Structure 1
Amino acid sequence: MANEELNIKELEAQLSEQEGLRRQKLADLQAQGKDPFDVYKVERTHTSSKIKESYEDLEGKSVTIAGRLMSKRVQGKAGFADIHDRDGKMQLFVKIDNIGEEAHKAFKTLDLGDWIAVTGEVFKTKTGEISVLVKSYELICKSLKPLPEKWHGLKDPDLRYRQREVDIITNSEVKETFLKRINIIKAIREFLDNRGFLEVETPILSPIAGGAAARPFVTHHNALDIDMYLRIATELYLKRCIVAGFEKVYDMGKNFRNEGISVRHNPEFTMIELYEAYSDYNDMMEIMENLVAHACLKVNGTTKITYEGTEIDLTPPWRRATMVELVKEHSGIDFDTINSNAEAQSIAKEKHLDFKKKIEDCTKGDILNAMFEEYAEQHLIQPTFVCDYPVEISPLTKKKRGNEEYTERFEGFIFGREVCNAYSELNDPIVQRDRFEQQANERELGDDEAYVIDEEFMSALETGMPPTGGLGIGIDRIVMFLTDSSSIRDVILFPTMKPQS
């Protein structure tokens, strides 16, 4: 431990020394009237990828590119350097005969991490690498902090998440993950837009934390002198859009839930919810499996992925199974043969299941769901739609046609993890009010995540909502699978972190 503390202090001293040297270089430049922070604009003509894509047309021609200096190998009168821009890397060939002795000497003093703009001719080296023969350059931003050591990069997970910009600079695979995320989201929008869905925006601040069972973040509006909540879901507002007659709508954005942080959960996360009039949960299954397959094909060129060493086939159609079938498959207990809450409670005691309320207050549906989570969920590796959830845990859902113990609800699972939730939406305002009142009773029994009634939503429902299918998808979890990322923090640019002391 003493040696580790000594090494950390030595490293901090080295960094402080390097930062001091960089600041001195800046001061010298400013004294010479060459302040890099006085540069306002760069007339860039090409990016690295455009030069490589159009080499035959650009060979021997002048281009101006810009980027961060990431390596420098200048010995004597000539040498090479690499700059990185958004698209990738471009090699520079720097020669004293082309830029002059003074500029060549100054180039040698540049630090890794500095931003430069370069004008020069496009050519290929003897090894065939497309490069730029530098004719002139300008320092356009001085990096005052040294980048992590080249070969080891930024490895400490806590530092990586806190200093994501440095993580991306030094770890190319991290940059690739976030470029993929951008394209996944673009592909999802493309898929829905092509099906006639309209993207709408719903409030992030709301007087009611409605639309899901979760703990909200509470804030206070000073002018109105009321507590408000960061949204936990967009469901109720989007249904009001259906009432308004928009017929097909979606909202992709941030939701906030005041809950724990783990490899699968971040308090601030991205979801998409979509609603389609005249549809049911079967239509939502078709949308979900094809939407994910479309996004995967766009970013990976295939509908098969490898996640944590396991091959997963996202090709539609996905497996469909009821919750009762899956519990029977993995526990041997058939809930279709259980006829009372008391019989189900006996099984719960035998299996030592945990609940937020007393087992005596649990229904058959509560216990079926707990059995599914305990015995079946972790086995759903290949994409599976778990259908027909108990009515007690699905307050916004229509009852199952032909069996009113259950609802027309499904959740999608991949690799044992929930990725979506969907319903044939309940549009009967009288039944909906009864369900909300049952949820109020659940709160009294100790479930502080039970739904709360939203009178504005109830008013809209009484105005009339046509039969509607609804689907909510956890975008971050989909991105995790399509980029083979083990933690949700690896796919969120700036995840929630405890402040450093």
Structure 2
Amino acid sequence: MNTTLSDDLIGQRTRRIEAVQKLRELGIDPYTPYAKKDHENIVIKDDFDKYNGKEVTLTGRLIAKREHGKLIFGDIQDQSGSIQFGIRKDEIQEDLKNSFLGFDKLNLIDTGDFIQVAGTVNKTQQGEVTVFVKHLKLLTKSLRPFPIKFEDKEQQFRRRYVDFTVNHDRKKLFERKAKFWQVSREFMMKKGFIEVETPVLEHVTGGADARPFTTHHNALDQDFFLRISTELYQKRLIGAGFEKIFTLGPNFRNEGLSDEHLQEFYQLEWYCAYANYRDGMELIKEMFREIAKKVYGKTKFTTKGHTFDLASDWEEIDYINVIKEKYGIDIFKDSEGKMLEVLKKQGVELPGMINKNRIIDNLWKTIRKNVAGPAFLINQPQFISPLAKSLPERPELTQRFQIIIAGSELGNGYSELNDPADQLSRFLEQQKLRDMGDEEAQMLDIDYVEMLEYGMPPTCGYGHSERVFWALENITAREGTLFPQMRSEVEEVTKKIYKDKVKFGHATKKVQKTDNSKPVNGLPTREEALKKLEARVKEPYQIIHAKMVAAAMAMYAKEFGENEDLWYITGILHDLDYFEFPDEHPKRSLIWFKDWAYPQEFIDTISAHAFGSKRTDTPPKTQMDFALIACDEMSGLLYAYSLMRPTKFAGMEAKSAIKKFKDKAFAAKIDRAEIMIGVEGLGIELKDHAAKLIEVFAKMEELKK
């Protein structure tokens, strides 16, 4: 928010606070708990003939106010919509004892206030349905004015209370979402299913390939996971004798953000005893069609350029055959190297842990994006379906189906594996992947295996998340979530308003410090580190970038009282392997550093700076870790900005750099989220971080050219 807008908001807020005081002096409670309402706005407008000439009492937010001398018009908005009201000076009745305001007191009412109006329904000469007011009562005084437009996506997500008031259609979207889940629940109950509860905190989490969130249970003094699925607990209930059950609630997966993925999401999951995956496919077709008809009144949709009709026949796509037909790959016989070559030609990179399962899954995803659907993906291999029953005639494949619509996977179901020996074997295979560093592989749940030894009947299970709703609406994940998770942010104007009452800042982690009083064994000199860099890196910018990060790291080391040589050399060598081995960065250099007997704290920081991109499993812990994360990407962004300026870093202002930071189209490959992780870990403000780096870079001779 610029200074002019900030000052204007503060001025309006001050005037409204003064109005609150005047109202109290009149004996009127500006935040009364008493309100009366006998009709919704939309009812009056839609059935005017019924209400014409009758008295009604309405409540809602004042969203517009138009003064014409002795006549005032306004619009009041409730959950159903808005309606016009009119106030004539000689008709409105003041009664301060009952908190009814007279005409000369209406200057104390502002847009944004919640009010109650009582009057007679009629129409204006222009034919507008209008309530002509006899009594007006203030219910809640608004201290901040509402914007006329509110189109900034980030602000919409942060301030839904403003977004839905200004953009009523977006509020309607979430009313449809509520109906989407209501229809889903009613469908399940109509089919004889009962809703059950399962733990959100789990000792062992499972039911999906995903990295979980971890928390600590103080009373039990044990770490727990937030559930990624309700599957294993629901199947315990099937083993206990329940036959048709479902859950509807939140799940949590500590994965990346995208237009189709959030870390916290709502999911429907059901299990039906004495049924198989073919029964499940029929049930899902019926459910999707019913949701479409009852929520939208149609079955045909267009999403992401794909048009599909849920009432049409659902295609069945064979997992093995479609990959073979598209790429000539036999997933059981061909090498991982051959598959990786195909992915590279498709422009697909696999950061982090690479294994056969991930390679094959990504081969399918390149095909999936072109499938309009509705379709079922079937015949998936056993090694990527650890909880699904095998096909009797082809045991290497499973009785599994996935729903494919508009290029996305929207649901997953299968005939549940109930052979305890087979299940244990598959869990052990998954455990091997976890031991190799794959955090998304499923955990070994021995209690679940024990349940299977007591016996679980043949069962079909299925789950889908709110991604189905997003697809039907043709919106992104964050657009379809009431309060999507975002980084904490406090506007400058808010800090200005509350500066004397509230202490602002980030809640910082306790971080370890390097000991500046003792030498770091095995550390090369700055000159030796630079020679290693120049021997391996032949791209001029990468050398400049390393020097920038090193200078910034040394600055922070000095500020924090840390070991300046250690921090500088960490900056110089943090991308040492990237020029030669970009796909393996930083794993190749970590091996070198160990071979060269470099200090462990140096190695850990290099490893931690790649944690956010899932290239390593070393989370940041120390000040040096967070400093490298904060300086790495920010150096790249500031360098790109300097190339646009004739004077480079000389005269560059932090506030201008922050504007470039917020413009995601500028230097689009810069990972802004990574920068914020580092900044918050250090406990400093982004603007201050930018200012410090600009000051350092302005002194570097190689950046003045």
Tell me the TM-score normalised to structure 2 length: 0.65
Mark the CA change 1:261 to 1:68 in structure 2 (over 3 Å): closer, same or farther: same
Read off the aligned partner of 2:482 and give its amino acid letter: L
**2:299 pairs with 1:299:** no
1:211-222 counterparts in 2 under 5 A?
211-222=207-218
Aligned position for 2:113: 114
Whether the aligned pair in 1 keeps the contact of 2:307 and 2:372 (CA below 8 Å) is: no
Identity over aligned pairs, percent: 38
C-alpha deviation, 1:305, in angstroms: 1.4
* 1:299 CA drift (Å): 2.1
Letter in 2 for 1:488: A
- Tell me which residue corresponds to 2:657: none
1:23 and 2:12 aligned: no
Mapping of residues 368-407 of structure 1, within 5 Å: 368-374=360-366, 376-407=367-398
Q: Which moved more, 1:8-17 or 1:350-359?
A: 350-359
- Of the three residues 417, 426, 432, the one matched with 1:435 is 426
Which secondary structure does the structure 2 equivalent of 1:456 belong to? helix
- Mapped contact 2:434–2:441 kept (Cα < 8 A): yes
1:261 aligns with 2:260: no
1:324·1:368 contact (CA, 8 Å) conserved in 2? no
Letter of the 1:382 counterpart: G
Please say if residues 403 and 411 of structure 2, whose CA atoms lie closer than 8 Å, have aligned partners that are also in contact.
yes
Please say if residues 52 and 130 of structure 1, whose CA atoms lie closer than 8 Å, have aligned partners that are also in contact: yes
The DSSP-based 3-state class of the residue aligned with 1:97 is coil
C-alpha displacement at 1:70, in angstroms? 0.5
Query: Does the 8 A contact of 2:381 with 2:397 survive in 1?
Result: yes
Secondary structure of the 2:396 match is strand
Which residue pairs with 1:492 in the alignment? 481
TM alignment of 1:189-204, pairs within 5 A: 189-204=185-200
Query: Would the aligned equivalents of 2:340 and 2:359 in 1 still touch at CA under 8 Å?
Result: no
For residues 174 and 353 of structure 2, the distance between their equivalents in structure 1, rounded to whole angstroms, comes to 45
1:379 aligned counterpart, secondary structure: coil
Q: 8 Å contact 1:293–1:316 — kept in the other structure?
A: no
* Structure 2 residue 55 is matched with structure 1 residue 62: yes
RMSD: 2.1
- State how 1:72-221 maps to structure 2 within 5 Å: 72-100=65-93, 103-148=102-147, 150=148, 153-221=149-217
What amino acid does structure 2 have at the position aligned with 1:40?
P
Deviations 1:238-289 (A, max 9, x none): 1112112221111011001111122221111111111111111112222222
Choose from 39, 45, 65 the match for 2:38. 45
8 A Cα contact 2:304 2:406, kept in partner: no
Question: How far does residue 56 in structure 1 lie from its aligned partner after superposition?
Answer: 3.2
Match of 1:348 among 335, 339, 346: 339
SS class of match (2:411):
strand
CA distance in structure 2 between the partners assigned to 1:293 and 1:162 by the alignment? 34
The answer (yes or no) to whether the contact 1:69–1:84 under 8 Å persists in 2 is yes
**Match in the other structure for 1:283:** 279
Is 1:456 the counterpart of 2:447? The answer is yes
Map 1:411-430 onto structure 2 (within 5 A).
411-430=402-421
In structure 2, relative to structure 1, the CA distance for the partners of 1:402 and 1:136 (3 Å cut) is: same
Cα distance 1:366–1:408, how it changes in 2: closer, same or farther (>3 A)? farther
For the residues of structure 2 that align with 1:221 and 1:208, how far apart are their CA atoms?
14
1:427-481 Cα shifts (integer Å, max 9, x gaps):
1111111111111111122212111122332222222111111111022x11212
Note if contact 1:121-1:134 (Cα within 8 Å) is conserved in structure 2. Answer: yes
Q: Distance in 2 between matches of 1:431 and 1:357?
A: 29
Match of 1:4 in 2: none
SS of the residue corresponding to residue 236 of structure 1 reads: helix
Which of these residues, 220, 224, 235, is aligned with residue 239 of structure 1?
Answer: 235
Deviation for aligned residue 1:325: 2.7
Instruction: Evaluate the alpha carbon distance shift between residue 74 and residue 240 of structure 1 in structure 2; reply closer, same or farther with a 3 A threshold.
Output: same
Aligned residue type for 2:373 = Q
Letter in 2 for 1:483: E
Confirm or deny: 8 A CA contact 2:184 2:287 kept in the other structure: yes
Bigger strand share: 1
Q: Which amino acid aligns with 2:204?
A: I
Which piece of structure 1 moves more, 257-266 or 391-400? 257-266
2:116 partner amino acid: A
Say if 2:59 and 2:116, in contact at 8 Å, map to a contact too: yes
Distance 2:332 2:385 in 1: 20
Q: Report the AA paired with residue 473 of structure 1.
A: H
8 Å Cα contact 1:213-1:450 kept in structure 2:
yes
Q: 1:410 is matched with which residue: 396, 401, 406?
A: 401
Q: Distance in 2 between matches of 1:450 and 1:310?
A: 32
Q: Which residues of structure 2 form unaligned runs of 5+?
A: 95-100, 490-684, 686-705
User: Equivalent residues in 2 for 1:357-368 (5 A)?
Assistant: 362=356, 368=360
Cα distance in 2 between the residues matched to 1:78 and 1:263: 49
Contact 2:117–2:133, Cα closer than 8 Å, also in 1: yes
- The structure with the larger Rg is 2
Correspondence for 1:471: 462
Preserved CA contact (<8 Å) 1:398 1:423? yes
- Aligned-partner Cα distance in 2 for 1:20–1:243: 64
Question: Which TM-score applies when normalising by structure 1?
Answer: 0.91
Residue in 2 aligned with 1:230? Answer: 226
Equivalent pair of 1:289/1:317 in contact (CA under 8 Å): no
When residues 64 and 352 of structure 1 are mapped into structure 2, their CA distance, relative to the original with a 3 A threshold, is closer
Q: Which amino acid aligns with 1:70?
A: I
Code of the residue aligned with 1:116 in structure 2: it is: I
Secondary structure of 2:105's aligned partner: helix
Q: 1 CA distance for matches of 2:19 and 2:470?
A: 43
Amino acid at match of 1:437: L
- Shift, 1:347, TM fit: 2.5
CA contact (8 A) 1:205 1:229 kept: yes
Distance of aligned partners of 1:316 and 1:190 in 2 relative to their CA distance in 1, 3 Å threshold: farther
Asked if the contact 1:344–1:367 (Cα under 8 Å) also holds between the matched residues in 2, the reply is no
Deviation, 1:84, is 0.5
Is the partner of 1:399 in helix, strand or coil? coil
Distance 1:280 1:390 in 2: 17
Cα distance, 1:8 vs structure 2: 0.9
CA distance in 2, matches of 1:274, 1:373: 26
Aligned amino acid, residue 480 of structure 1: W
